[in-house]
Amino acid sequence: GEDVEQSLFLSVREGDSSVINCTYTDSSSTYLYWYKQEPGAGLQLLTYIFSNMDMKQDQRLTVLLNKKDKHLSLRIADTQTGDSAIYFCAESIRNYGQNFVFGPGTRLSVLP
């Protein structure tokens, strides 16, 4: 069935760039999303990309989409300690109607 995969952990030093990767299986995905979850908090929408785009930049965030390989990445430039959180990739799957499918989340740890 449809699935979204991510690596579970990533550690970077403050000031470095972080790259969080995601692979998905459904080629009919229309939108792909990145959500951020801080400890004990809800899911905050960070950014999203339409499936016919290759790249989207929003301040420190850059999303790259390789539709052929079904690969999505989120790059955070100049990573700060406040970026420490779990980052979820999600796809919107039309075949299932209106629900999203989330990846397992990547826990980003930013070291001083």
Partner 1 sequence: EPEVTQTPSHQVTQMGQEVILRCVPISNHLYFYWYRQILGQKVEFLVSFYNNEISEKSEIFDDQFSVERPDGSNFTLKIRSTKLEDSAMYFCASRDNRDSPLHFGNGTRLTVT
| Residue 8 CB, nearest approach to partner 1 (Å) | 10
| CA–CA dist 95, 74 (Å, integer) | 25
Using a 10 angstrom Cβ sphere, with 0-12 exposed, 13-18 middle and 19 or more buried, the burial of residue 112 is exposed
Residue 74: name the closest of 39, 101, 106 by CA: 106
Query: Between residue 77 and residue 106, which ones bind partner 1 under the rule CB under 8 A?
Result: 88, 90, 92, 96-105
Binders of partner 1 in range 47-76 (CB under 8 A): 48
Cα dihedral 27→4→52→46 (10° resolution): 160
Asked if 28 touches partner 1 (CB under 8 A), the answer is: no
Choose between 24 and 88: whose C-beta lies nearer to partner 1. 88
| Binding-site size, partner 1 (CB under 8 A) | 23
Binding interface with partner 1 (CB under 8 A): 30-31, 33, 35, 41-45, 48, 88, 90, 92, 96-105
